[in-house]
Amino acid sequence: MFDYDPYSFLTPVPNFDARSESFTDGATFAPAQVHVDAHPGGLDLSPQLSWSGFPEATRSFAVTMFDPDAPTASGYWHWAVADVPLDVTALAEGAGTAGSPLLPAAALTLKNDGGFPGYLGSAPPQGHGPHRYMVVVHAVDVDSLGLGADATPATLGFNLHFHTLARARLTGLFEV
């Protein structure tokens, strides 16, 4: 496993609390969070998430899942959601599935690096070793980041640089 932490290069912000009923921080993802082609029983279900303790000035949230260990110069974005309303502090397992009614209507799901808007389960190359999947909830200082449906996760990250008040992080692991 690699030591690269993409968040260490960003402007430091406070942390807040995130939890998941789908996986334990630092532990291996369950098959439900794995890509259907990467593991028998893989379901491509985004993990259940809940969060609390974010700053009072928070106006919305963004949720991302990034694999910094992918064999690319830019990592691999598995999930990117912007404009999650302030009154939403939990997402059900599977909320990130394309077309799921479990994601708030106001939320904007961007295309992942697989090319579609939605959650793409973990799927490291066979024999590449364990990969870290950084699931992050970003507390944002505006109701909407004003992104279009064609924005990339990198564009979301750029906008989050200017609007993130705090972050809650969980990391799931997986290898084939």
Give the CB-side neighbour count of residue 170, counting CA atoms within 13 A: 22
CB 52 within 8 A of CB 166: no
Beta sheet of 49-52, edge-to-edge order: 17-19, 49-52, 90-91
What is the third-level CATH fold of 6-174? Phosphatidylethanolamine-binding Protein (3.90.280)
- Residue 2, pLDDT > 80, answer no
pTM: 0.96
pLDDT at 4: 85
Q: List pLDDT tens digits, range 141-162.
A: 999 999 999 999 999 999 999 9
pLDDT at 1: 55
Angstrom CA distances, 12 to 8, 79, 95, 166, stand at 8, 22, 29, 9
Strand, coil or helix: 36: coil
Q: List pLDDT tens digits, range 58-103.
A: 999 999 999 999 999 999 999 999 999 999 999 999 999 988 999 9
